[in-house]
């Protein structure tokens, strides 16, 4: 099984075989929103936080 490393807690995060670049997922250990930033090697980074208040 493919897996990446959570940058927040260093847990192994299981990934599907058909994982795609920039896919979003959640760390099962710490709940951090993650993004696949590289497929070779498989690298995860924190997903950019969406600001709910855009100050419009």
Residue 44 as a binder of Zn ion (CB under 5 A): the answer is no
Interface with Zn ion includes 5 (CB under 5 A)?
Answer: no
Tokens of 15: 């990934």
Among 11, 33, 42, 47, binds Zn ion (CB under 5 A): 11
Residue 28 binds Zn ion, judged by CB under 5 A: no
Instruction: Rule CB under 5 A: choose which of 3, 21, 29, 43 binds Zn ion.
Output: 29
Binding status of residue 30 toward Zn ion by CB under 5 A? yes
Per-residue CA distances from 48 to 1, 24, 32, 51 (Å): 26, 10, 11, 9
């Amino acid at each position: 099984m493919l897996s990446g490393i959570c940058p927040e807690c260093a847990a192994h995060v299981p990934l599907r075989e058909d994982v795609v670049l920039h896919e979003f997922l959640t760390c099962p250990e710490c709940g951090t929103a993650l993004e696949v930033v590289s497929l070779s090697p498989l690298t995860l980074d924190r997903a950019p936080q969406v600001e709910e208040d855009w100050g419009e």
